[in-house]
């Protein structure tokens, strides 16, 4: 989006927010919004009217605001309910990311035990083995596309093993995940995504049938057991939960590993500092989460009760979307917010959200990133971008800040 276009736009659309052009200039756009228009109007097609939130303090407030709901059934009456945009929507949306208390608490409790501090630490050796195995394959070539060769396969292998999913299916997840996070109401995209989601539902049905016959000590088997108890999990919730764990279990971590590597490649002084002082790794990960937040925009929240924000009435049924990427660059919270500083103090970023929907996989994502980046720098100390940083392309995607590829030589 050019400066001229930014000045002339009064309402942003979903297609603009999802465009590659927007991603390229988003940080400058957000900076202007934080200064002059922290509540920015959106037109979201079938979802109706919405508002984009860009300031940190507003984000913190709204992420905990009980007037905003994730489940639209808690906002709309039966007569007002919108028709499903996708035929397979109901089978994949009954998960905790789209739920409010008390359902949210019930669903989160079912999976939280698999993501305790103790359980995550037990994965450390396994993640290290995966990282080394992936680098073994590419190191003789002195080249790799970080996304395809490292940052995508590492977390998808980890979550597949946790769930008990055959690794040979992981490439299918990549396609299905993109269909799920591809927020678009363009008719041709809707039709294509619905077809892909139909494939995903069929896959889940087959997988669940197999797990019912041959239960094991994995997370899917545990969720099936909860479903069989009747009061804890419905069949739709079971499919939706598996879908969420597959997508959320790898998609954000792919972006964290890739975006952090990219930031280090673009800031040679910080890269060298981290190489010389590996004890800064934890701080560097937090700064990477802030600087290029893996999730750029939150999923939608519906307004259940009207309220006033910055002198504007937010009406019932309005959609609220929060830019985590903008909040994490808010100058009032982060001094020198546009500077990548791996020694940043008091880094209060909200890359993993805030409130009830704080990412339950945050600790696993941090551990995967720590092992992935540490191993990469140790084994490939001379790593560098293959090409100019200006040639790197951000994906046109509504929710995520994700690079299409990151070619590296070493």
Domain limits, the chain: 3-409
Residue 192 is predicted with a pLDDT of 82
Q: Taken in order 154, 397, 144, 175, is the CA torsion positive or negative?
A: positive
Distance CA(326)–CA(329), nearest Å, equals 5
Residue 87 is predicted with a pLDDT of 65
Q: What is the per-residue pLDDT for 185?
A: 60
**Fold type of domain 3-409:** Cytochrome p450 (1.10.630)
Distance CA 317, CA 14 (A): 17
Compute the C-alpha angle 323/328/330, nearest 5°.
95
* Rounded CA separation 279/76 (Å): 50
39-83 pLDDT per residue, tens? 999 998 888 899 999 999 999 999 999 999 999 899 998 888 765
Higher-scoring residue by pLDDT: 89, 144: 144
Question: Residue 5: pLDDT band by 50, 70, 90 thresholds?
Answer: very low
Task: For residue 195, give Cα distances in angstroms to 189, 223, 354, 378.
Answer: 10, 26, 33, 43
Quickly state the pLDDT bin for 145 (edges 50, 70, 90): very high
Q: What percent of the chain has pLDDT over 70?
A: 93
Q: What pLDDT was estimated at residue 84?
A: 59
Q: How far apart are CA 245 and CA 240, in angstroms?
A: 9
How long is the chain?
410
Q: What does pLDDT average to over the chain?
A: 90
Q: Give the per-residue pLDDT at 183.
A: 60
Handedness of CA 361, 366, 367, 368 (dihedral sign): positive
Going from the C-alpha of 407 to that of each of 100, 143, 272, 359, the distances in angstroms are 41, 7, 19, 29
| 392 touches 403 (CB < 8 A) | yes
pLDDT bracket for residue 3 (50, 70, 90): very low
Q: Is the pLDDT of residue 28 over 60?
A: yes
Record the pTM. 0.92
pLDDT tier, 7 (very low <50, low <70, confident <90, very high otherwise):
very low
Residue 4 has pLDDT above 60, yes or no: no
pLDDT digit string (tens) for 80-136? 876 555 566 666 788 899 999 999 998 898 888 788 888 899 999 999 999 999 999
pLDDT, one tens digit per residue, over 332-356 is 999 999 999 999 999 999 999 999 9
Q: What confidence tens digit (pLDDT) does each residue in 200-231 have?
A: 889 999 999 999 999 998 999 988 887 666 56
- In this predicted model, what pLDDT tens digit does every residue of 221-274 receive, in sequence order? 988 887 666 567 888 888 888 889 888 888 899 999 999 999 999 999 999 999
Q: CA 171 to CA 152: how far, in whole Å?
A: 10
Alpha-carbon dihedral 8, 10, 11, 16, rounded to 10 degrees = 20
Give me the percent of the chain exceeding a pLDDT of 90. Answer: 67
What one-character DSSP code corresponds to residue 278?
G
């Amino acid at each position: 989006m050019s400066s001229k276009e930014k000045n002339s736009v009064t309402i942003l659309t979903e297609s603009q927010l999802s465009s590659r052009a927007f991603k390229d200039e988003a940080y400058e756009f957000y900076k202007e919004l934080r200064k002059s228009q922290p509540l920015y109007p959106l037109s979201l097609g079938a979802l109706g009217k919405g508002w984009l939130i860009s300031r940190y303090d507003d984000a913190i407030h709204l992420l905990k605001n009980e007037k905003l709901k994730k489940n639209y059934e808690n906002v709309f009456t039966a007569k007002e309910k919108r028709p499903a945009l996708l035929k397979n929507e109901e089978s994949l949306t009954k998960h905790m990311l789209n739920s409010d208390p008390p359902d949210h608490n019930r669903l989160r409790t079912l999976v939280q035990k698999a993501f305790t501090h103790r359980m995550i630490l037990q994965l450390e050796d396994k993640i290290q083995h995966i990282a080394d195995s992936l680098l073994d394959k590419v190191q003789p070539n002195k080249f790799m596309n970080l996304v395809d060769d490292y940052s995508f396969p590492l977390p998808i292998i980890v979550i597949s093993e946790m769930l008990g999913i055959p690794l040979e299916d992981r490439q299918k997840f990549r396609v299905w995940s993109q269909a799920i996070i591809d927020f678009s109401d363009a008719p041709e995209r809707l039709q294509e995504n619905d077809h892909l989601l139909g494939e995903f539902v069929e896959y889940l049905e087959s997988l669940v049938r197999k797990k019912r016959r041959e239960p094991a000590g994995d997370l899917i088997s545990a969720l099936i057991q909860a479903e069989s108890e009747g009061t804890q999990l419905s069949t739709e919730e079971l499919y939706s939960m598996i879908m969420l764990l597959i997508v959320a279990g790898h998609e954000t971590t792919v972006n964290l590993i890739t975006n952090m590597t990219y930031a280090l490649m673009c800031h040679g002084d910080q890269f060298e500092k981290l190489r010389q002082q590996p004890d800064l790794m934890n701080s560097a990960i937090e700064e990477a989460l802030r600087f290029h937040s893996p999730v750029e925009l939150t999923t939608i929240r519906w307004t259940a009760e009207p309220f006033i924000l910055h002198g504007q009435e937010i009406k019932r049924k309005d959609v609220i979307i929060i830019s985590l990427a903008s909040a994490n660059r808010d100058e009032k919270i982060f001094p020198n917010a546009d500077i990548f500083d791996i020694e940043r103090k008091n880094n209060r970023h909200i890359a993993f959200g805030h409130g009830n929907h704080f990412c339950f996989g945050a600790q696993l994502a941090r551990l995967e990133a720590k092992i992935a980046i540490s191993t990469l720098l140790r084994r490939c100390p001379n790593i560098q971008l293959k090409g100019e940083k200006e040639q790197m392309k951000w994906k046109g995607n509504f929710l995520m800040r994700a690079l299409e590829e990151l070619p590296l030589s070493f």
